[in-house]
Structure 1
Amino acid sequence: MKKFTLCTAAAAALLSLAACQNEVEEVDSRAPDPMASELANAAPVELPPAISASVTFRCQPGNEVIAVDFFTGDEQANLRVDPEAPTGTMLRAEAAGQPYTGEGYTLTGDRTGVTLDQPEGPTLTCST
């Protein structure tokens, strides 16, 4: 009799637990984000291009030195007429392989040699 009562009590306990919902209640004290829907529907962010090569050129006439940072995608270059200058002039190309232009400068070429048309001064032919 004792065995039967113990089995009946165990079965009743299991049936009562089967009716429970095992869900975790999520508690958050922060207010909902007012821009959540705008951020979810926003266009993906495109990172700026990375520098693919930094090249120092020796140029003629005048035996001048310039530095050029070429960026991935071959549509941007940073020209430093004074190689020691911390910043330079950002030049952009319409498409890869086209001349880089900006602020009166036109730079044609690649990492092995360039030609620089300056707003003031002679056209420089440069090589590494």
Structure 2
Amino acid sequence: MKLYIPLLAAAPLMFLSACGQSEPEVVGGPADPLKDQLANASAVKLPPSVKNSRTYRCKDNSLIFVDFLSDDTTANLRLEKNGAPTKLVAAEAGKPYTAEGFEVDGSGPTINATVPGKSAQSCKA
């Protein structure tokens, strides 16, 4: 019986010594396969944020809702408060925002707006 006790204690030590000590443990998984592509990728351009939202009352007593974006060349126009927006784009900052049948000239408290089926009219915030 006394002979078996040292053998039982030595058995786990033999198994531990047989572990692969020559190779380091890998933590975190394999290397990123897209590392080189990501390092050479161009910078990401974020979409413009809303710079100013205004509700305008026009000469014909109708309301239009315009969100002017931070790039100063894009605006979203809605004919109803929760309606679908129409994206208007200006050729450059300071020029009228246009889309098919729509035009908004200005971005301050007074604008000139044209919507399909109506002539151009002055609108105030």
> For the superposition of Structure 1 and Structure 2, which TM-score range results when normalised by the shorter chain?
0.7 to 0.9
5+ long unaligned stretches in structure 2: 1-23
Deviation at 1:110, TM superposition (A): 1.3
Question: How many aligned residue pairs are there?
Answer: 102
1:53-72 superposed matches below 5 A: 53-60=52-59, 62-72=60-70
Q: Percent same amino acid at aligned positions?
A: 38
TM-score, normalized by length of structure 1? Answer: 0.72
5+ long unaligned stretches in structure 1: 1-24
Aligned equivalents of 2:40 and 2:90: distance in 1?
A: 31
The RMSD of aligned alpha carbons is 1.7
Does the 8 Å contact 1:68/1:80 carry over to 2?
yes
Deviation at 1:108, TM superposition (A): 0.4
Deviation at 1:29, TM superposition (A): 4.8
In structure 2, the partner of 1:32 is 31
TM-score, normalized by length of structure 2? Answer: 0.73
Aligned equivalents of 1:119 and 1:29: distance in 2?
A: 59
Question: For residues 65 and 95 of structure 1, do their structure 2 counterparts lie closer, same or farther at Cα, with a shift above 3 Å needed?
Answer: same
In structure 2, the partner of 1:95 is 92
Which aligned runs of 4 or more in structure 1 are off by greater than 3 angstroms?
A: none
Deviations 1:58-104 (A, max 9, x none): 001x200011001113111000011232x310111111101111132
